[in-house]
Chain A
Amino acid sequence: MSAIHPDQVSAAKLAGMMRPPPEPEFDPVTRDGSLVEDPAVRAPLVLGKDTSFNDVTETVCGYIEKGPGRWFWPVFFLVSQVAGLMPLMILYLIITGVGVWGLNNQVDWAWDITNFVFWIGIGHAGTLISAILCLLKQKWRTSINRAAEAMTIFAVICAGTFPGVHIGRVWMAWMLFPIPNSNAIWPNFKSPLLWDVFAVSTYGTVSALFWFMGMIPDFATLRDRAALRIMRASDPSVMKVDRIRCFVYGMLALGWRFSTRHWHRYEKAYILLAGISTPLVLSVHSIVSFDFATSILPGWHTTIFPPYFVAGAIFGGFAMVLLLMIPSRELFPGMKALITLRHLENMAKIILVTGFMVGFAYAMEFFVAWYGGNQYELHVFLYNRVVPDWVDPRGAPYWWAYWSMIICNVVFPQLFWFKACRQSPVVIFIVSVAVTIGMWFERFVIIVTSLHRAFLPGEWHMFFPTPVDILTFVGSCGTFLTLYMLFMRFLPMFAMSEIKAVMPQANPHKH
Chain B
Amino acid sequence: MSTIFPKWTNNLPTLLAGGAVGTLAVVVGVVWYYFTPEYWSVGYMPTQPGGGFNHQIHVGKLGMDCRYCHTNVEKSAEANVPTVSTCYGCHADGRLAKLTSSQGHAEKTAFIREAYAKDEPIEWRRVHKVPDYVRNFPHHAHVNAGVSCYSCHGNIGRMPVVYQAKSLSMSWCLDCHRNPEPHLVAKDDVYRLFDVEDRNAADPSGSGKRLTEGKRFYEERKIAAPENCGACHY
Contacts and interface: CB of A to CB of B under 8 A. Distances in A.
A228 B2 CA distance: 9
A184 B171 contact: yes
Contacts of B224: none
B212 interface: no
Interface string A175-212: 00000011111000000000000000000000000000
B10 A182 contact: no
B174 A223 contact: no
Contacts of B13: 254
Nearest to A184: B171
26 contacts: A181-B171, A182-B35, A182-B36, A182-B37, A182-B38, A182-B167, A182-B169, A182-B171, A182-B172, A183-B169, A183-B170, A184-B170, A184-B174, A184-B175, A185-B170, A223-B4, A227-B4, A228-B1, A231-B1, A231-B2, A246-B4, A247-B4, A250-B4, A250-B5, A254-B13, A255-B10
Interface of B: 1-2, 4-5, 10, 13, 35-38, 167, 169-172, 174-175
A364 B170 CA distance: 48
Nearest to B170: A183
A33 to B, nearest CB: 38
Contacts of B167: 182
B1 A227 contact: yes
A224 interface: yes
A255 to B, nearest CB: 7
Contacts of A228: 1
Contacts of A231: 1-2
Given A254-B13, A255-B10, A183 B1 contact: no
A257 B8 CA distance: 17
A182 B1 contact: no
Contacts of B37: 182
Most chain A Cβ neighbours within 10 Å, of B5, B36, B167: B5
Given A227-B1, A255-B10, 7 more contacts: A182-B172, A184-B170, A184-B174, A184-B175, A227-B2, A231-B1, A250-B4
A20 B38 CA distance: 70
Kindly list the 4 A-B residue pairs having the minimum CB-CB distance in the complex, ordered from nearest: A184-B171, A183-B170, A182-B169, A182-B36
B233 to A, nearest CB: 11
Contacts of B175: 184
Interface in A247-276: 247, 250, 254-255
Size range of the chain A interface in the assembly: 10 to 19
A183 B10 CA distance: 44
A250 B170 CA distance: 50
A484 B167 CA distance: 50
Contacts of B171: 181-184
B22 to A, nearest CB: 20
Contacts of B169: 182-184
Contacts of A223: 4
Contacts of A183: 169-171
Contacts of A250: 4-5
A247 B170 CA distance: 51
Interface in A158-187: 181-185
Contacts of B5: 250
A377 to B, nearest CB: 31
B117 to A, nearest CB: 46
Nearest to B173: A184
A185 B170 CA distance: 8
A224 B1 contact: yes
A254 B167 CA distance: 48
A184 B5 CA distance: 49
A184 B36 CA distance: 12
Interface in A340-390: none
Contacts of B10: 255
Given A254-B13, A255-B10, A182 B170 contact: yes
A182 B35 CA distance: 9
Nearest to B167: A182
A224 B2 CA distance: 10
Contacts of B35: 182
Nearest to A185: B170
B5 to A, nearest CB: 6
Contacts of A247: 4
Most chain B Cβ neighbours within 10 Å, of A182, A184, A223: A182
Contacts of B1: 224, 227-228, 231
Interface string A218-258: 00000110011001000000000000001100100011000
Nearest to A249: B4
A227 B36 CA distance: 52
Contacts of A227: 1-2, 4
A228 B1 CA distance: 7
A185 B175 CA distance: 12
A228 B4 CA distance: 11
A228 B167 CA distance: 64
A255 B5 CA distance: 9
A228 B38 CA distance: 60
Nearest to B178: A184
Nearest to A253: B4
Contacts of A246: 4
A444 to B, nearest CB: 33
A254 B35 CA distance: 37
Nearest to B38: A182
A457 B127 CA distance: 51
B40 to A, nearest CB: 10
Contacts of A224: 1
Most chain A Cβ neighbours within 10 Å, of B4, B5, B174: B4
A164 to B, nearest CB: 20
